[in-house]
Amino acid sequence: MPSAPSPGPLATPDPSADPAAVAGPGDIAEPTSAPPVRRTARPLAELPGDPLALDPEEMRRLGYWVVDQVVAHVAGKGSGPAVRVGDPGDLRSTLGGPVPSEPGDVQAAMEALVDVALPHMQHGDHPRYFARVPGPSSFPAVLGEWLGTGHQAIATSWGGGSGPATVELVVCEWLASVLGLPESTEGVLLSGGSMANVTALVAVRAVLGEGVAYLSDQTHSSIARGLRLLGWSAEQISVVPTGEDLRLPVEELRRRMAADREAGRRPLVVIATAGTTNTGTVDPLEDLADLCAIEDVWLHVDGAYGGPAALCAPGRDELAGITRADSVVLDPHKWLFQPYDVGCLLVTRPGVLERAYTMNPEYLADVTAGTGEVDLRNRSLELSRRSRALKLWLTMRGYGTRALADAVERGIALAEHAEGLLRADPFWEVVTPAQLGVVTFAAVGATGEDHTRAAAALSDDGYAALTTTTLHGRSVLRLCTINPATTGADLEGTLTRLAAYL
Ligand SMILES: Cc1ncc(COP(=O)(O)O)c(C=O)c1O
């Protein structure tokens, strides 16, 4: 146990013991007309010992307070509003101000975070948060995150982080197995679906060369943005309009590939979605896999939202064909009960990621992997990277896939229950049926403005949050029901209140 430093950063500085304490950063930076003098550091003996060290008892006191706060939050989920947006001036009056130069009261500062910063956001773990994609994080995952952060875990190079790297490789193997992907599948964790999809597509282009990427008008917007910014030209981004079923139309895709070849362009990659953000729809993965096999085109599946549904039987049925993908993305911070952030990219063709991303500079030679080991920095553009795997590993070890499968299946069942409630009430029209935890609907005769106003009023009253979206020009309301803590009564209460605002 380290001995208590003297004085700690929470103590009032004693200017006589530390002459620098009387000089703030402003004094150092003051403009002067004299030629700049390059100052050297004060002699070590004149400086205080580690100025940032804390007394272990103090760390325990502060840390236990944090645990109490988080447990109170987790146990009391649903007692506050599902969404709260703050006033910029009010928030800044507590959280803003000039750069603090003197030690402050950490306890009081933490209270400001808990009382002012953290309440003002979308509470994706609230049982009546149905907007966009909820984030129903689980407590073991929080513990895993804390352990990694507290130990400054790094998963960059084998020699510099073989433990966290192994946890990440194991977690990727577990996820590949849940999805039914081949044993040789390789993976890497990233900040989320946007980065994971782009990481895959960059690798495909780096290894196979340039060509056309095919996606649909329901593909997540981050993908087309990523492709554009990464240098795909307009004619290399082929956005195929969907029909009424909102699925990537295979025949139109076949026609476009032929036309592209005719025009001298190479069909490179089909980007299918397994659970679209708008409606939870799954593209026809088997047919797309057949087409890609014939055309020798890479099949990438964005399962950022829907991928974890593979844990349970109804989800596996929906995702049939995903096992034939060349690469798959899924987002554990959506439907695998993880705190932000963690996305996962899995590639079934071994070596592709390393071929695209390997970078072994001279200063990393000492920590670079040998045979049978992996440098995770060589699987994406991230070099220094935290261990996002610990939380997922702990969740999977702690609950086992059976409980996680039940939790996922509950999300699917909740959307089906909501669909039943909507169909039983002539006030509502179901626009797209419950698919992988998403149902969209409209109030009969309502305009888009009516929907937007009612959704906003429901958020403002704090009871629940849901989103509107637009499907082929039509405004709809949308419930995403993946929080296993949601009850049937939550859905009934939400629809009753929503109707009252229409
Ligand atoms: C299908 C799909 N793909 C990609 C993304 C982007 O994921 P992230 O927000 O984690 O970057 C989302 C986010 O909702 C999504 O639903």
Model confidence pLDDT, tens digit, residues 128-161 = 999 999 999 999 999 999 999 999 999 999 999 9
The full 3-state SS of 256-320, as one line of letters, equals HHHHHHHCCCCEEEEEEEECCCCCCCECCHHHHHHHHHHHCCEEEEEECCCHHHHHCHHHHHHCC
Give the number of the atom of ligand 1 that is nearest the alpha carbon of residue 195.
11
- Average pLDDT of the residues in 46-71: 97
- Average pLDDT of the residues in 318-329: 98
Which residue has tokens 């953000």?
277
Residue 29: predicted pLDDT: 54
Residue 466: predicted pLDDT: 97
Q: Which of 285, 331, 436 to mutate to test the pocket of ligand 1 (most atoms within 8 A of CB)?
A: 331
Residue 279 beta carbon below 6 angstroms from any ligand 1 atom: no
Quick one: how many helices (H) and strands (E) in the chain?
16, 11
pLDDT category at 7 given cuts 50, 70, 90 is: very low
End-to-end CA distance of the chain: 62
Tell me how far the alpha carbon of residue 280 lies from the centroid of ligand 1, in angstroms: 12
Tell me how far the alpha carbon of residue 54 lies from the centroid of ligand 1, in angstroms: 39
Query: Which top CATH class is 154-386?
Result: alpha beta
Give the number of the atom of ligand 1 that is nearest the alpha carbon of residue 276.
1
Tell me how far the alpha carbon of residue 57 lies from the centroid of ligand 1, in angstroms: 42
> Quick one: tokens of 169?
């490789």
- Average pLDDT of the residues in 257-261: 98
User: What are the b/e assignments for 120-133, b being 16+ CB within 10 Å?
Assistant: eebbbbbbbbbbbb
Tell me the CB-side half-sphere exposure of residue 369, using CA atoms within 13 A. Answer: 21
Residue 475 beta carbon below 6 angstroms from any ligand 1 atom: no
Tell me how far the alpha carbon of residue 435 lies from the centroid of ligand 1, in angstroms: 17
pLDDT per position as a tens digit, 284-298: 999 999 999 999 999
Residue 219 beta carbon below 6 angstroms from any ligand 1 atom: no
pLDDT category at 30 given cuts 50, 70, 90 is: low
Query: Is the pLDDT confidence value at 242 over 50?
Result: yes
Give the number of the atom of ligand 1 that is nearest the alpha carbon of residue 334.
10
Of the candidates 291, 340, 288, 285, the one whose C-alpha atom is nearest the C-alpha of residue 307 is 285
Tell me the CB-side half-sphere exposure of residue 299, using CA atoms within 13 A. Answer: 28
| CA–CA separation, 343 and 196 (whole Å) | 6
Q: Give the residue extent of every domain in the chain.
A: 154-386
Query: Is the pLDDT confidence value at 89 over 50?
Result: yes
Q: Which of 305, 380, 480 to mutate to test the pocket of ligand 1 (most atoms within 8 A of CB)?
A: 305
Of the candidates 279, 288, 287, 280, the one whose C-alpha atom is nearest the C-alpha of residue 306 is 280
